[in-house]
Amino acid sequence: MRCLIPLLFLAAAPVHAQSLDWGNYQLSADVGIGAERGPAYLGADESENSLWLILRNGSLSRRDAAGGETTDGFSIVPSFGYVGKREASDHNALAGMNDVDAAGEVGAKLNYDQGPTRGYVAVRKGFGGHDGLVGEFGAQYRFSPADRLLLTAGAEARFSDGSFSETYFGVTPDESLASGMAAYEPGGGFYAAAINLEARYSLTENMAILGEIEYSRLLGDAADSPLVQSKSEPTVRLGIVRRIDFKF
């Protein structure tokens, strides 16, 4: 199943006009482990349980002129992703298709924070199971309805090049002969849109329970693929995290 994990805390200074004082910056992120239930693969109509390796809610804060801390403004940070392997023998709908190895993705993410809101765009290059370009852009809004509880609502559009689309949604002539499905060569573009709601409940100053509900829907050439059994892809995640801070 697809699991995008942006690693937002692994460095890069925000883009500001003033000179940088490196003693005033702090990188933070939630790191932990949990479980998730979602589509067995992109376009599957069956769900499966899997391990959720949590590395998210990264922020790069700095001291402002008044001595307080702020994350407002632009920042450029690394972005990493992961797509699990797809084995045709595990799914009747994929009979005759080739297996796809697990893939890693490495790239960069541009954030703009203003108070409780964030806008972002990320682009990554794949290696392993796919070697295409993939990314997303979207917005988030954070609010706290009760002590210790932080909710984050978000929406994003996901895009890719033709190489990524062909790997996960394409059917080659050889696969067509083996599977009985029509050959299909999808192009790049927007392949999915998603909305999500994350809840973070603090147990202590550094420990928290993290949960997320996400609904995504395949679009365009991806949605039209003969491999797609369901365009809708709901996912539920639950885990425990520790807040890690790095001052520099």
Mean pLDDT of all residues in 127-156: 96
Least confidently predicted of 3-7, 139-143, 189-193? 3-7
pTM of the model: 0.84
178 close to 190: Cβ distance less than 8 angstroms: no
- Of 45-59, 63-77, 110-124, where does the model show the most confidence? 110-124
Q: How many CB atoms lie within 10 A of CB 209?
A: 17
Question: How far is 100 from 120, CA to CA, in rounded Å?
Answer: 29
Please state the domain count of the chain: 1
Mean per-residue pLDDT of the chain: 88
Least confidently predicted of 13-17, 66-70, 134-138? 13-17
Query: What pLDDT digit, counting tens, does each position of 152-166 carry?
Result: 999 999 999 999 999
CATH of the domain at 185: 2.40.160
Mean pLDDT of all residues in 72-92: 88
Domain region containing 11: 2-247
Closest CA to 215 of 240, 198, 239, 200: 198
Structure confidence at residue 2 (pLDDT): 46
